[in-house]
Amino acid sequence: MLAPYAVEVAQSRGRRFPEPPHPYRDDFQRDRDRIIHARAFRRLENKTQVFTKRYSDHFRTRLTHTIEVSQISRTIAQQLNLNTELVEALALAHDMGHPPFGHSGEQALDACMKRHGERFDHNLHSLRIVESFEQRYASFPGLNLTFEVREGIVKHSHDYIAAEFPELSEYLLDQRPPLEAQLIDHTDEIAYNTADLDDGFEAELLTLEQIRSEVGVFARGLDEAERRYPTASPKLKFNEALKRMINRLVGDLITNTAARVREAGIQTIEDVRSHPVRLAGFSPEVDEERREAKHFLYRCLYYSEQLKGQKADGERIVTDLFEHFIARPQALPPSYQSKIEGGETKARTICDYLAGMTDNFILDQHKKLMRKA
């Protein structure tokens, strides 16, 4: 039984291009499956999360991170009696617009676009992917996803101002997204905060005592693990602490979101949409623990001396290729040249091309094209 404020698939606003119903899958299930079968989804396997493949094959990629977000999201949605099929579709799609080299690539692309009076936003790029870039069906461009999935792609982590983004006017920018979409930003952070501690420890860039001293929620889990498993290896104690950290964050998100919904008197999806603030979220105590972990990761891992070279390389490669194609648009593949001829700006076309590349492909292109230049 879905909660009365959950999104009912029967009440979906539908697809841009109407399609007959499927005999044994509902529309949100079909959307989930279309995302999984998309080329952009497969490319996530070779896109950086934090560590490039050159560092180790064991660490998360965008794809494995996405799968972890999906698992956490479904668990929480089930406990809140939300539409798990919609939640899963949104979780699987939430990072499809990310470029190669993780946040370094995203920052470099955005900086390049700013010089041409435009911006790069990975959420809006995800929307472009599902609306037009994917070409799998003869009847329509893109994946022809339902309104609710497209809206969630746009709004799951950010409230856009209608006056600044008139092209997004159909997505009810003056209203909150459904709870199914609101969850994704939080489950994304649960997944990467805990996974990045794991990968950072495995890479020996973070020590057990360093994490214990600066991340309180992890320290409490580690203390309990050491009491319960005193002879276990440091890695197994780490795993036990991380498991407790995940349970703490997930459990609080469930109970606090449910409490907010009750206190606000939410009865319908319209109540969720019209509420002045988003309802999904952590309690103040756990939100502070989340912020503490996030700040630790930025200070001690993402901007660490050990990863500084990797970050700089990614930014340089993206910037080099962007400027190369700006000066030589004739070097773009014919399909992208035709977009410029059709009225798309040169900068946006080049941005779209680079954002779709995997780490491996952009490295190959940089090596080939910079040698010729």
CA–CA distance, 314 with 330 (Å, rounded to integer): 24
Position 10 scores a pLDDT of 95
Asked whether residue 168 carries a pLDDT value surpassing 70, the answer given is: yes
- Residue-wise pLDDT tens digits, 109-126: 999 999 999 999 999 999
Question: Is 69:184 a contact under the CB 8 Å cutoff?
Answer: yes
The CB density around residue 236, as the number of other CB atoms within 10 Å, is 12
Confidence of residue 342 (pLDDT cuts 50, 70, 90): very high
Q: Rounded CA gap, 124 and 200, in Å? A: 30
H helix count then E strand count, the chain? 17, 0
**Contacts of residue 219, Cβ cutoff 8 Å, sequence gap at least 6:** 211, 212, 213, 241
Q: Is 2 helix (H, G, I), strand (E, B) or coil?
A: coil
Which residues does 272 contact at the CB level (< 8 Å), separation at least 6? 5, 176, 178, 179, 266, 279
**CATH of 9-308 given 1.10.3210.10, 1.10.540.10, 3.40.718.10, 2.30.30.60:** 1.10.3210.10
Q: Please, what is the average pLDDT of the chain?
A: 95
Determine the pLDDT at residue 50.
Answer: 83
- pLDDT tens digits, 50-63: 876 656 667 889 99
Question: Taking every pair of C-alpha atoms in the chain, what is the biggest distance, in angstroms?
Answer: 67
The residue length of the chain stands at 373
Opening angle at CA 361, ends 39 and 54, nearest 5 = 110
> Does the model's pTM come out above 0.85?
yes
